[in-house]
Chain A
């Protein structure tokens, strides 16, 4: 029984993980005060947890609340630890594991969206092809001259990955991604 419960990041435990790590999306509601993001990130690095994506912004100005969305990876046991460790941070109000919550609601995943700005430079056929593909991906052109485009694209991470991969041979110059914004489907709040 205990063999299945191996903590992370500690040299004391050398037994192998038997649970499979899975990707989870967490929503963390925090007081918007100096250092709060450092506390959250420090917890992840200090305890050896992964951060795959991180998004943070103030969401309720009057209440000084910010919402942090973290995509992380771990076994169910590690995920429970991460949630409890986050809840211990004094300015943290609530932590919701959106992935677990979506399962409880009978859904496969929470809603997740990401925005990317993609700069592609080129002329001739490559340029035409880039524009055609952007159209297929419903990316919009937000800046252009005769030698380049900047596309804005929104969607799931996997869609963005695919779009970027396709743009690579067509003159991809740089990419900026926002990280994942997420919430659960349905009428209830977090």
Chain B
């Protein structure tokens, strides 16, 4: 990775930054210049190994780096200036922390002599970002700079991945010091445990072998662990014949076309997935964290099951739900042992699972994702289904914003491969999808990258259309436009007597003209029978596209586990009358989010 002449060479701090990026295999950096990072930008200008992507707002740089990281498995890198540059990056940092995305954020800082003096564009960057990073550093001595950046990459990408910040004062960027290449010896206090306890894996195999009603519940950890983990997960499912569901973050690790797939679980998951979670006798949680969107009411969560939990983060095990067998380790390594031991010791008696599969078939027959078709207006679910049908055979990556469209995308767009689905799960950041799509497209220039968006979310980071045009990144922004903040409205209907306080957008931009103003391509479609042609046009245009898909304005997202309810108390689409919606949540549930 390093070449001889760069080892222990004297250079300026700014040179070190660029050299360290190269030595850590970085090809692209998303960023925005400013006073406190000018020396680094000057170095970037004088080389062409690391390509800099200029965004229009630092939040865009962060989400673009997240999309880049999520779709490649490598760390995403962003470079921003001090003060507002750093504070604008806070949202994507917290987003990456919650979804375990490896990000390295380099921030400029005022010169060390001015720190603490309320200087122009000064902020306490390490203080502000301490709770929203896995770790952060303020580098005060140029001789520590290279080692710190290398350590930052190591911390971001190993263990449970996450965002890190390296704050570099401007005088340190100018100062000369000795560059050290990446070293393999990490600090002694940071040693993530990757290999699972074999005794516990044995116990897990035993428990699984005796299961009558098992379910595998997998999450984003499988994807973070790398393609081999997804491969092993598929092998485990094939070997055991167990049904498998996944969290929002884990979609694609097991193929949606696989025969053991029961769909996504959780608040807007399928009926069969949630009922199977509720009634199972053995639950195998692999790289997921029993988030509240998944469990529903905790004290009614899967009451009669033994739970196996595989996770790399010890604080995730036993946090929300008691694990009967908690296996600490990297999902990929543990699955390797699990598959090997299963092959060696467990007899696969798939017949014993017949009654369970029959029960699941009954739940599946409930058809919980059904909706009423309409020949005059485009139903949002229909739009996603058509988008899927017309793009599934291409090299496609999907990002989303946050809201109803996100849930419809998760329900009706089906993923057969990992790293194809980029969404803001934990933090729920509206405005994530457009810049994330930019990041994905930069990493995969020939792929079809689509942001399934909502009309409200997409306006939060719309400015990055300009970046997409600049870098000829032909991202497709497929906006399900219902003129509402649909999920906000849905909750107001559920909780607040249908008083739709500020969830309707009175003034909506003309998305077609807006696309043209940015130098992109605009498409509008409001008729179901014209939708296919419009989608084909979107795919064929080699420019960034804003697709204004006018959908039924009042459609709601079902099925749904209302707050404070259990998995077996789902609100299904055919039962969701106005009255059922108004009474779905009791007084206690109202306090929840």
Contacts and interface: CB of A to CB of B under 8 A. Distances in A.
Interface of A: 1-7, 10-15, 30-31, 34-35, 38-39, 42, 46, 77, 80-81, 84-85, 87-93
A7 B320 contact: yes
A14 B131 CA distance: 25
Given A31-B189, A77-B318, A93-B188, A3 B592 contact: no
Contacts of A30: 189
Contact of B592 (A14, A35, A84, A88): A14
Given A35-B130, A38-B127, 11 more contacts: A2-B301, A12-B592, A13-B298, A30-B189, A34-B138, A38-B130, A81-B318, A84-B317, A88-B313, A90-B189, A91-B135
5 contacts: A3-B298, A5-B318, A12-B592, A13-B292, A30-B189
A1 B126 CA distance: 40
B163 to A, nearest CB: 13
A39 B298 contact: no
Contacts of A92: 189
Contact of A5 (B313, B314, B322): B322
A14 B564 CA distance: 9
Interface string B336-364: 00000000000000000000000000000
A89 B192 CA distance: 11
Nearest to B298: A2
Sort chain B's interface into a size bin: 20 to 34
B394 interface: no
Interface string B126-142: 11001100111010000
Interface of B: 126-127, 130-131, 134-136, 138, 155, 187-190, 292, 298-299, 301, 303, 313-315, 317-322, 564, 588, 591-593
A150 B301 CA distance: 59
Interface centre among A3, A90, A91 (most CB of B within 10 A): A90
Contacts of A34: 138
Q: Does more than half of chain B's interface fall in helix, strand or loop, or is it mixed?
A: loop
B292 A3 contact: no
A6 to B, nearest CB: 7
A7 B134 CA distance: 21
Contact of A42 (B130, B299, B301, B314): B130
Nearest to B140: A34
Contacts of A93: 188-189
Nearest to A87: B314
A84 B189 contact: no
A154 to B, nearest CB: 32
Contact of B126 (A13, A35, A90, A91): A35
B96 to A, nearest CB: 16
Given A13-B298, A42-B130, A92-B189, A84 B292 contact: no
Contacts of B190: 90
A36 B158 CA distance: 21
Contact of A90 (B135, B314, B588): B135
B591 A14 contact: yes
6 tightest Cβ-Cβ pairs between the two chains A and B: A84-B315, A3-B299, A90-B135, A12-B292, A93-B189, A84-B314
Nearest to A1: B322
Given A2-B322, A11-B591, A15-B299, A88 B189 contact: no
A90 B318 CA distance: 21
Contacts of A38: 127, 130
A2 B324 CA distance: 11
A2 B299 contact: yes
B322 A46 contact: no
A88 B130 CA distance: 13
B539 to A, nearest CB: 41
A6 B593 CA distance: 17
A15 B189 contact: no
A3 B321 CA distance: 9
Nearest to A82: B315
